[in-house]
Structure 1
Amino acid sequence: DDMLTLYYRALLYMEIGEWGAALRDFNLVALEYPDFGPVYQNRSYVKQMLGDDYGAQLDYGTAVKIEMQRRRQSESADAGTTSSGADSRADNLKSGKKRKETRKESDKDISNYDKVAVLDDFGNEPDEEPSTNPLRGRVQNRNIIIEMEPMFGLTFYPGDTLVHRLRYFNLAVESIDRQNVIDKSLTIANIEQEVDRESAALIFSEISALGEKIKTAKDEEKANLHFARGTLYNTVVNLNSAMEDFNKAIELAPDHIPALLNRAYTRYKTVETIKALEAETPVNQTLQIGVTTVQPGANIQSEEKRILDYDLIIDDLERILSIEPDFEFAHYNLGIIQAVMRNFDGAIEHFSAAIDANPDMAEAWFNRGLTNIFMENDSVGTLDLSKAGELGIFKAYNVIKRYGMGVGSMEEADEE
């Protein structure tokens, strides 16, 4: 009767590779909760490991459909919220209140599977007052969140059409493309498509085809095949399988720059996805102007694990730079990691190196400008954001309007 415990047991079976036992538990949960998306996503992976590619495709498509329906319902609910409800949410933001992240031990609701179980009488203490840090006088009483441009990786399914921006090229990437590993171009991008059911089915068939190629390929061909399959796994958010393929590609070819880049990219996606699930906040790295985020003591162990993961990401990116010192995307990604770790001087240093290597890299200009404004270097940050806007990141102009400096203010700052 306890479907939540059954679901957890299925996840544990997955961790130890007991695919048959995991499938049986997931089947029972899906039968009881046919609208619970995560069970279909996990069952899709289990079926794939058992060789049932068609069943895996159907389950993945179902998971995507349920998630899209959930998002549409959420957007509709938000649109229909009254102004008083909006005021209430704003008050909650100001007071530091968030959606509850725990469930009572007696709560067996499957939808609360990702919340921490606590004793039924836990949590009666008064809420802790959030601390604030008035970094900037005119915004010190407002919680303002600005998203940095995301990390770059390699994908066959880019989500940005790049209508207003240059398409990025790299010789190592073009070399893989010329081999026609699959019938799609490999692209350097920091946005991937959200695949629909039809695209997911196509990707799974491509993954299966690559698996057959790997069995008969020559040793010198296998590294690129593992890299391509790992990149496809990334697109369908099967991050564990993606990591396995990137590890194998690097084992076969230790200087495989695309595999090193995507292993770092995948590890970052994994860490940030887990962090988002823990905090129920957007995955994108953000800079908060006017507030200081307080980490609860209960998260110390997960934070230590995260730091170790960041160190591994840094190792892969620095290894790329030892092979190709002017690889702008390694510098850019290192800038993001340094910003995440609150080393803002280090972030600016790497964003600057990316700009030196490629002066047309709009994302590096934007992130350096945003970091400078966060550090109160407003005149320098405004110039960087202006350049990012010229190169196609038009939201930079809105950031300048809200937090940057006008021409007159910059001239006064220069005179001082």
Structure 2
Amino acid sequence: MLKKILIILLFFPVYLSAQINTDRVMSIARNALYFEDYVLSIQYFNQVINAKPYLYEPYFFRGLAKIYLEDFQGAEADCTAAIELNPFVVGVYQIRGLAKIRQGKFDEAIADYEKAISYDPENITLWHNLTLCHLQKEDYKAAEIDLEQILRVSPRYTRAYLMRGEVALKQQDTIRAMNDFDKAIEIDKYDPDAWTSRAILKLQQGEYASAETDLNQSIHLNTKNAGNYINRALAKYHQNNLRGAMADYDIALDIEPNNFIGHYNRGLLRAQVGDDNRAIEDFDFVIKMEPDNMMAIFNRGILRSQTGNLGGAIMDFSTVLQEYPNFLAGYYHRAEARRKFGDRKGAEADEYQILKAQLDRRNNTNANNTLADNKTEEDIEEGGNKTRKKSDKNINNYRRIVIADNSENEQRYSSDYRGKVQDKNVNIKLEPLYVLTYYEKESDVKHIVHYNKYIDALSQSKILPKRLQITNAEAALTQQQADFHFALIDTHTSAIVDEPTNPLKRFARGLDFYLVQDFSNSIEDFTQAILLDDTFFPAYFMRALVKYKQLEYQRAEEAISTPVAPGASKPKEIGSFDYEMVKKDLNKVIALAPDFIYGYYNRGNLLAMLKDYRAAIVDYDKAIELNANFAEAYFNRGLTHIFLGNNKKGIADLSKAGELGIISAYNVIKRFTELPE
């Protein structure tokens, strides 16, 4: 027993807080952070902080993890601790500024960004966020100075032109705003926000046909923005295309079911075309969202009266009249409903109120009459203004289409803060590699269970604690799951001491190390499993996967501006030999298990990443040959064809991938299909 304990202690010095290898734990923690396992990464950062509280890095990266978990107060506190330990790291001010923004502390955020800029004056991300803070403060002069600096450093930064256009609009300078939006489109015609910004300005100027054209372009590039459909519906409405407007509201509400403007306006249009019952459904929804919305209640009352629900109509009219006792249209409609309902006395009382108000108006004795500033309902119906702002509470405008307030339009960039140091590449990317794991993200679209006879048999063995899944949609561990696998590492270590020649024991512990992001120990265990049984292909498969992830993380570290102190060492450069080792393992997987399609798929991804596109296509071809419904292989083969310039073949594959459940394929197709004239 003593021998067993000594072996365990020698193998795992990393987990003993008194003798922690902080460099190693920091590396594991940053792995976990990069692969979005935020809860687990915080545990590792805690270990480093407990062992060496004088290091700034664990505080900073723990703060970054908290940003992703939306613990903004905790993130600010951690960044403050990091700054106290090292006040010269740009990234720390950058992240603390973001945490302060999320708490509405714009003055403090501005101070952080200005401090960071003093160290890194050409950092576009810092200037971008500083500009947005000044916009939130309505300090337009300062925002313009920021934007001039951004464009001096990066003249083709389209976001700067869009923000400068917004600043011009705030100052009622529509000509300058239009010039900036035009410039943004000239620089990048594939930016949907540029088309949207110009379209909204055209809507405000009454250029409805031209606005619709711009919105068509924006929707072509981004089909998931409900606001674009809402705005295009408005453009169509002003061109008397009611059916087209309703169709756009339908799409907007599919994307964003709780959109107030969508339901209210669709209710009005449904009422105009006689679809009363479905119009009532829309107003029911609005009233559920805003129980005191008198315009929606009044519109529902009219519709209830028209559909024979006189009791409900009278109740709605009474609710409105209690709030607006001088609203003559309310008395008119309630009188009509009461008369149909058989309440002659109530109808006559309402008619008396109307008559009295008309006499008072004629005699100018009630200057505060609330009927559309002394207009009749017919006057309102024929009025020139067909819209009202959402904040407009004038009950007489109940039949007008709702448009967003200026403040809502102006907030389009208010959440577009940049600067999470480890943000992933937002460009089009291949679908991820497949992995053997116990946890998979749930999908609302795809419900495919990936099966392999050998892997299923391995799952049925008593060695593994859970059913092994084949997936490329790994789920991050919860706190409970992380604790479970840390405990399993100890359990499996004891089992290895008892059976040192059992490759499955090594493989099981290698999976646990992988799940807690300890890649080095994971690779070591898979290597030992292979040495014990060189025909055990899952160990080759997982060793290739973990090594690839190590390399991916190292590449990301090299690609981003890592927030390290001046003079700190940079990550070691990655050579082709490292990737050759990954490829060698995948070659072995394919040799040992030629029907294991995920070996071909993963090797295809590796080759595509290395820009050996034709070889990658051969592997994707084989994977699809073995499984004609392999959605991810179609998606990746489609992108690879596009990388080679074969757009037609690429779009055909992407279409198949979308058909099989990868919805993002449709957005990619739009990116590589010519824009309509």
TM range (shorter): 0.5 to 0.7
Q: Aligned match of 2:652 in 380, 383, 406?
A: 383
Match of 2:626 in 1: 357
Counterpart Cα distance in 1 of 2:534 and 2:597: 20
Match of 2:574 in 1: 303
Match of 2:511 in 1: 231
What is the Cα deviation at residue 148 of structure 1?
Answer: 1.1
Counterpart Cα distance in 2 of 1:381 and 1:87: 39
What is the Cα deviation at residue 46 of structure 1?
Answer: 13
Q: Aligned match of 1:41 in 41, 44, 66?
A: 44
Amino acid at match of 1:68: A
Length-normalised TM-score, structure 1: 0.63
The 3 A distance-change label for structure 1 pair 232 and 44 is: farther
Match of 1:68 in 2: 65
The 3 A distance-change label for structure 1 pair 243 and 253 is: same
Amino acid at match of 2:473: I
Match of 1:276 in 2: 556
What is the Cα deviation at residue 144 of structure 1?
Answer: 7.5
Counterpart Cα distance in 1 of 2:100 and 2:616: 39
The 3 A distance-change label for structure 1 pair 218 and 191 is: same
Query: What is the Cα-based RMSD across aligned positions, in Å?
Result: 4.3
Amino acid at match of 1:227: F
The 3 A distance-change label for structure 1 pair 16 and 69 is: closer
Amino acid at match of 1:69: K
Amino acid at match of 1:250: I
1:245-294 Cα shifts (integer Å, max 9, x gaps): 10011111101111110000000011111111222289xxxxxxxxxxxx
Counterpart Cα distance in 1 of 2:449 and 2:525: 26
Q: Secondary structure at the match of 2:517?
A: coil
Match of 2:533 in 1: 253
The 3 A distance-change label for structure 1 pair 17 and 69 is: closer
Match of 2:436 in 1: 154
Q: Secondary structure at the match of 1:148?
A: coil
Indicate if the aligned counterparts of 1:149 and 1:367 stay in contact, CA closer than 8 A: yes
Counterpart Cα distance in 1 of 2:523 and 2:631: 29
Moved more, 377-386 or 196-205: 196-205
The 3 A distance-change label for structure 1 pair 94 and 242 is: farther
1:319 aligns with 2:588: yes
Gap regions ≥5 residues in structure 2: 1-10, 27-39, 51-58, 73-94, 105-128, 136-142, 158-187, 195-424, 563-568
What is the Cα deviation at residue 244 of structure 1?
Answer: 0.9
Counterpart Cα distance in 1 of 2:558 and 2:147: 26
What is the Cα deviation at residue 238 of structure 1?
Answer: 0.3
Counterpart Cα distance in 2 of 1:161 and 1:149: 15
Counterpart Cα distance in 2 of 1:87 and 1:339: 38
Amino acid at match of 2:455: V
Amino acid at match of 2:608: A
What is the Cα deviation at residue 207 of structure 1?
Answer: 1.6
Indicate if the aligned counterparts of 2:13 and 2:19 stay in contact, CA closer than 8 A: no
Match of 1:111 in 2: none
1:374 aligns with 2:619: no
Q: Secondary structure at the match of 1:303?
A: coil
Counterpart Cα distance in 2 of 1:139 and 1:281: 26
Amino acid at match of 1:359: A
Q: Aligned match of 2:663 in 367, 376, 394?
A: 394
Match of 1:196 in 2: 478
Counterpart Cα distance in 2 of 1:405 and 1:348: 24
1:334 aligns with 2:603: yes
Structure ranking higher on relative contact order (CA contacts 8 Å, 6+ apart): 1
The 3 A distance-change label for structure 1 pair 399 and 370 is: same
What is the Cα deviation at residue 42 of structure 1?
Answer: 6.7
Amino acid at match of 2:625: D
Counterpart Cα distance in 1 of 2:498 and 2:437: 24
Q: Secondary structure at the match of 1:191?
A: coil
Counterpart Cα distance in 2 of 1:46 and 1:249: 34
Counterpart Cα distance in 2 of 1:214 and 1:248: 11
Match of 1:348 in 2: 617
The 3 A distance-change label for structure 1 pair 218 and 211 is: closer
The answer to which structure has the higher helix fraction is 2
Match of 2:520 in 1: 240
Moved more, 170-179 or 157-166: 157-166
Q: Secondary structure at the match of 1:302?
A: coil
1:168-224 Cα shifts (integer Å, max 9, x gaps): 1112211210103233110111232222322211111122111222222384xx211
The 3 A distance-change label for structure 1 pair 44 and 189 is: farther
What is the Cα deviation at residue 243 of structure 1?
Answer: 0.5
Indicate if the aligned counterparts of 1:160 and 1:192 stay in contact, CA closer than 8 A: no
Q: Secondary structure at the match of 1:188?
A: strand
Match of 1:175 in 2: 457
Counterpart Cα distance in 1 of 2:437 and 2:478: 16
The 3 A distance-change label for structure 1 pair 355 and 63 is: farther
The 3 A distance-change label for structure 1 pair 21 and 76 is: closer
Counterpart Cα distance in 2 of 1:243 and 1:351: 26
Amino acid at match of 1:23: I
Counterpart Cα distance in 2 of 1:210 and 1:18: 15
Indicate if the aligned counterparts of 1:23 and 1:43 stay in contact, CA closer than 8 A: no
Q: Secondary structure at the match of 1:185?
A: coil
Moved more, 152-161 or 273-282: 273-282
* Larger Rg over CA atoms: 2
Counterpart Cα distance in 2 of 1:21 and 1:234: 24
Amino acid at match of 2:620: F
Q: Secondary structure at the match of 2:470?
A: strand
Counterpart Cα distance in 2 of 1:300 and 1:95: 31
Counterpart Cα distance in 1 of 2:48 and 2:444: 32
Amino acid at match of 2:44: Q
Counterpart Cα distance in 1 of 2:587 and 2:601: 11
Indicate if the aligned counterparts of 2:433 and 2:602 stay in contact, CA closer than 8 A: yes
What is the Cα deviation at residue 351 of structure 1?
Answer: 1.2
Amino acid at match of 1:238: D
What is the Cα deviation at residue 321 of structure 1?
Answer: 1.2
